[in-house]
């Protein structure tokens, strides 16, 4: 059955519901609570999981990693729901449909543009998954079952308690929530050897727009394909994942080596581009580039930080580096051997703490401590020295901007672009992350303008047709349109093809099949092939 045929059938089955739902506009606390208690037979204890702006806990629950949302005039949620049981989420979904409320789903609060906890369209509520954080590891089967409210740090910590030789490839920030990270990608320090987190998902539980709980068998392979890289919140509320774990050595080796312009940083970065995606797949050398003050002269310079993990010991690492990248001048004293879980602290720059700190949901400095804007690119041909020097000039002229180069290659070349919605596999040398961070709101426009100028300049050095972007680094500058639910297919396809390339069309078909009324939506969610107005009528895109 093709996408259009499925669409016709689903329109007929959903119009009756839409006409009924549109008659209600009572979206306050009492209407929602009454619906949950009386319509879905939940006890009065439901009042313990629902928060309004009048509750003292509301502001705490609304805290997120980034003080800046991607919206000019962000709205706050009417309600925040913190469920403990799947039945409470099912009730929230059904009552939201009846009362005409949008739903945003929050796990870790690291959403780049705040789409998980803010909106420019009201009314809406947040389903905060912080209480869904169980992690169960089966060492014999080499699998883990992890609920979406768990953080990466908690997941890593739990795995390490069971085994020193099992791991999961995923990100380096321990306070990131599993939910958004897994459904959008999940790049990490062992990805050249073992791929992305999404490549290891073998089952999942999802609540759909009808409030039903589906696993892989009952949802089918189309929806299961979509939530592994296409973003889970476009299709439902993911409850948990089952992932396969990978085997690693008991000892890994790490190093952080810094070079400035006075120490040939430009030439080293240039050479790095030719070897980073080709070296032994057990080795991942990440680059962080930012302005700094020279320790020798005190003048502003560019600092290139080579951050590395090698799945093995120092001796073998030094041999590889001497053969592939002797210009860096790596020595034995630069290298530190440790366990994989200890490396999670190393890359998070957490010092003098035990691995138990990975259980902390609050990042160093606390939630909401700074304003932030991120963007991304992919590079398939090395940037020339002249281009690198111009980039350095951009960074030196403006405070607060930095670059991160994350190498690809290795196993990332072994999967086709269509294997999952995540299409950025073969042919990429590295991914660029652009970051701007500042502390005063009055500086926001200057920093936003600066990072956009840098992004514009970089167009000549990155992929094109489309100029690709990483979905987990959401960027509302791409195909900007803040009218939730009114985004046309043509508008959505601008960012859709940057994030997903040709997989965007299949994602739209899956969305049309499983959520044709576009109940689960945000400013960059996958659209269905139709849109609905208040009377329940539809129009094809």
Fold of 3-131+476-540: 3.30.43
Would you give per-residue pLDDT tens digits along the chain (541 residues)? 456 444 433 433 343 333 333 333 445 678 887 887 776 666 656 678 999 999 999 999 998 888 888 888 888 999 999 999 999 999 999 999 999 899 999 999 899 999 999 988 778 999 999 999 999 999 999 999 999 999 999 999 999 999 999 999 999 999 999 999 999 999 999 999 999 999 999 999 999 999 999 999 999 999 999 999 999 999 999 999 999 999 999 999 999 999 999 999 999 999 999 999 999 999 999 999 999 988 777 789 999 999 999 999 999 999 999 999 999 999 999 999 999 999 999 999 999 999 999 999 876 555 557 899 999 999 999 999 999 999 999 999 887 899 999 999 999 999 899 999 999 999 999 999 999 999 999 999 999 999 999 999 999 999 999 999 999 999 999 987 544 444 567 779 999 999 999 999 999 999 999 999 999 999 999 999 875 444 444 444 4
Q: In which residue are the tokens 């093809």 written?
A: 497
Fold of 135-247: 3.30.465
Q: What is the DSSP letter of 311?
A: S
Q: 3-state class of 479 per DSSP?
A: coil
Query: Domain extents for the chain?
Result: 3-131+476-540, 135-247, 252-338+370-461
Residue 220: which residues within 8 A CB-CB, separation 6 or more? none
Q: What do you get for the CA distance between the two ends of the chain, in Å?
A: 20
Q: In which residue are the tokens 């020193």 written?
A: 164
Q: In which residue are the tokens 């009417």 written?
A: 78
Name the E strands within 68-178: 79-81, 102-106, 124-128, 135-138, 143-147, 166-167
- Domain 252-338+370-461 is found in CATH 3.40.462.20: yes
Q: Which of 112, 117, 371, 473 is catalytic?
A: 473
pLDDT of residue 35: 87
Q: In which residue are the tokens 């190093």 written?
A: 255
Retrieve residue 441's tokens. Answer: 């709101």
Which alpha helices (DSSP H) does 398-533 contain, by range? 444-457, 489-500, 503-514
pLDDT of residue 40: 61
Angle subtended at Cα 477 by Cα 475 and Cα 482, rounded to the nearest 5 degrees? 95
Are 413 and 358 in contact by the 8 Å Cβ rule? The answer is: no
Residue 21: which residues within 8 A CB-CB, separation 6 or more? 97, 98, 100
Angle subtended at Cα 109 by Cα 107 and Cα 111, rounded to the nearest 5 degrees? 105
Distance between CA atoms of 139 and 509, rounded to whole angstroms? Answer: 38
pLDDT of residue 11: 35
pLDDT of residue 21: 38
Distance between CA atoms of 269 and 271, rounded to whole angstroms? Answer: 5
Are 190 and 280 in contact by the 8 Å Cβ rule? The answer is: no
Number of H helices, E strands in the chain: 15, 20
pLDDT of residue 36: 79
Residue 473 annotated in active site: yes
Distance between CA atoms of 220 and 1, rounded to whole angstroms? Answer: 14
pLDDT of residue 370: 87
- HSE-CB at 540 with a 13 A cutoff on CA atoms is 5
Alpha carbon separation from 191 to 187, 284, 309, 424 (Å, rounded): 6, 8, 11, 13
């Amino acid at each position: 059955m093709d996408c259009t045929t499925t669409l016709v059938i689903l329109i007929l089955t959903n119009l009756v519901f839409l006409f009924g739902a549109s008659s209600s506009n009572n979206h306050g606390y009492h209407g929602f609570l009454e619906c949950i208690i009386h319509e879905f037979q939940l006890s009065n204890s439901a009042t313990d999981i629902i928060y309004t702006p009048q509750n003292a806990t509301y502001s705490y629950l609304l805290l997120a990693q980034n003080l800046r949302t991607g919206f000019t005039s962000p709205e706050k949620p009417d309600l925040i729901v913190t469920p403990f049981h799947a039945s409470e989420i099912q009730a929230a979904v059904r009552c939201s449909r009846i009362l005409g409320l949008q739903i945003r789903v929050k796990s870790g609060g690291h959403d780049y543009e705040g789409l998980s906890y803010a909106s420019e369209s009201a009314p809406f509520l947040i389903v905060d998954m912080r209480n869904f954080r169980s992690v169960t590891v089966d060492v014999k089967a080499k699998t883990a079952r992890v609920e979406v409210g768990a953080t990466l740090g908690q997941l890593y910590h739990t795995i390490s308690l069971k085994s020193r030789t099992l791991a999961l490839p995923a990100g380096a920030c321990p306070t990131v929530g599993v939910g958004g990270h897994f459904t959008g990608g999940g790049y990490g320090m062992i990805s050249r050897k073992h791929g992305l987190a999404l490549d290891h998902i073998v089952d999942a539980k999802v609540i759909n727009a009808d409030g039903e709980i589906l696993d892989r068998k009952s949802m089918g392979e189309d929806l299961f394909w979509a939530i592994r890289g296409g973003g889970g919140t476009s299709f439902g509320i993911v409850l948990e994942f089952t992932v396969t774990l990978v085997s690693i050595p008991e000892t890994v080796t790490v190093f952080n080596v810094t070079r400035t312009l006075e120490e040939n940083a430009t030439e080293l970065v240039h050479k790095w581009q030719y070897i980073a995606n080709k070296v032994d797949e057990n080795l991942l050398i990440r680059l962080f580039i930012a302005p700094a003050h020279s320790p020798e002269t005190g003048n502003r310079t560019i600092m290139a930080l080579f951050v590395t993990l090698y799945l093995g010991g120092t001796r073998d690492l030094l041999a590889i580096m001497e053969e592939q990248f002797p210009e860096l001048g790596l020595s034995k004293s630069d290298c530190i051997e440790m366990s994989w879980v200890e490396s999670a602290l190393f890359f998070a720059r957490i010092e003098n703490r035990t691995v138990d700190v990975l259980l902390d949901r609050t990042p160093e400095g606390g939630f909401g401590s700074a304003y932030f804007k991120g963007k991304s690119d992919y590079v398939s041909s090395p940037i020339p020295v002249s281009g690198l020097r111009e980039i350095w000039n951009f960074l030196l002229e403006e405070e607060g901007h930095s670059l991160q180069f994350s190498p690809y290659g290795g196993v990332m070349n072994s999967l086709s672009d269509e294997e999952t919605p995540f299409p950025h596999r073969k042919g990429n040398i590295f991914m660029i992350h652009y970051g701007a961070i500042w502390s005063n709101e009055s500086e926001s426009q200057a920093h936003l303008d600066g990072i956009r100028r840098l992004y514009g300049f970089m167009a000549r050095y990155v992929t094109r047709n489309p100029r690709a972007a990483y979905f987990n680094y959401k960027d509302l500058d791409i195909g900007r349109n803040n009218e939730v639910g009114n985004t046309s297919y043509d508008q959505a396809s601008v960012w859709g093809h940057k994030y997903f390339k040709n997989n965007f069309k299949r994602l739209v078909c899956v969305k049309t099949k499983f959520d044709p009324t576009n109940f689960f939506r945000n400013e960059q969610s996958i659209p269905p092939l139709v849109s609905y107005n208040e009377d329940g009528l539809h129009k094809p895109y």
